[in-house]
């Protein structure tokens, strides 16, 4: 999303653009198997939320994930940092909840990316000018982001060659 700020003074126009990351609307049960998680696992939804939390923290992006089939008493919104999980009651679908959310966003829908491999959901997103991304593509992006962060963290944990030399010289002095 690019936000342009316009000011004029002495007939000059200044434009300042910020490239902000787009938040996601995600069809959770559509994404779960694309990540190698199992829909029959009772912890599949919370595991997806955990992965999305890490992704959102690293990328500084918001994700709203929709899960259908919530049993009575379990439906509703739960917030997990940058992740909002919507548990849609039985008898309704995550697809219809995502479409309603896009309708409620109105013109702001263009600032969101909808993640689903369901063609009807993708078409609804495009009709409202939102970006549409296949679950497989998002799963790849999520895995790459998490792997890159782990690699960076491991690299930060390794001592430099100079630090190794300093430690070796300290240990050698202790033996003398």
**Domain limits, the chain:** 22-138
Q: What is the pLDDT of residue 1?
A: 43
Its CATH class, for the domain covering 22-138, is: alpha beta
Q: Is residue 88 classed as helix, strand or coil in its secondary structure?
A: strand
Residue 88: CB partners within 8 Å, gap ≥ 6?
Answer: 66, 67, 68, 69, 70, 75, 94, 96, 97
Q: Which portions of the chain are predicted below pLDDT 70?
A: 1-20, 150-159, 163-164, 167-176
Residue 51: CB partners within 8 Å, gap ≥ 6?
Answer: 35, 142, 146
Contact criterion met (CB below 8 Å) for 146 and 51: yes
Q: What is the pLDDT of residue 156?
A: 53
Contact criterion met (CB below 8 Å) for 126 and 145: no
- For residue 25, the surrounding DSSP H or E stretch is strand 24-27
| Cα 29 to Cα 168: distance, rounded to the nearest angstrom | 53
Tens digits of residue pLDDT in 84-131: 999 999 999 999 999 999 999 999 999 999 999 999 999 999 999 999
pTM comes to: 0.75
Evaluate the CA torsion angle 123, 31, 91, 25 in order and state its sign: negative
The residue to which tokens 């890490």 are assigned: 54
Q: What is the pLDDT of residue 5?
A: 46
């Amino acid at each position: 999303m690019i936000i342009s700020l316009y000011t004029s003074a002495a007939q000059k126009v200044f434009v300042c653009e910020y490239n902000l990351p787009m938040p996601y609307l995600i069809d959770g049960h559509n994404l779960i198997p694309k990540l190698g998680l199992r829909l029959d696992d009772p912890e599949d939804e919370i595991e997806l939320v955990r992965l999305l939390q890490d992704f959102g923290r690293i990328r500084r992006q918001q994700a709203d994930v929709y899960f259908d089939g919530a049993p009575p008493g379990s439906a509703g919104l739960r917030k997990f940092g940058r992740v909002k999980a919507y548990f849609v009651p039985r008898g309704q679908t995550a697809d219809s909840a995502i479409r309603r959310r896009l309708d409620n966003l109105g013109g702001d829908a263009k600032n969101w990316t909808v993640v689903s491999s369901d063609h009807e959901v993708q078409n609804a997103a495009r009709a409202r000018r939102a970006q549409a991304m296949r679950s497989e593509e998002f799963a790849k992006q999520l895995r790459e982001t998490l792997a890159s962060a782990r690699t960076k963290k491991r690299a930060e944990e390794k001592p430099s060659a100079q630090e190794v030399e300093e430690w070796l010289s300290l240990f050698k002095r202790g033996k003398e």
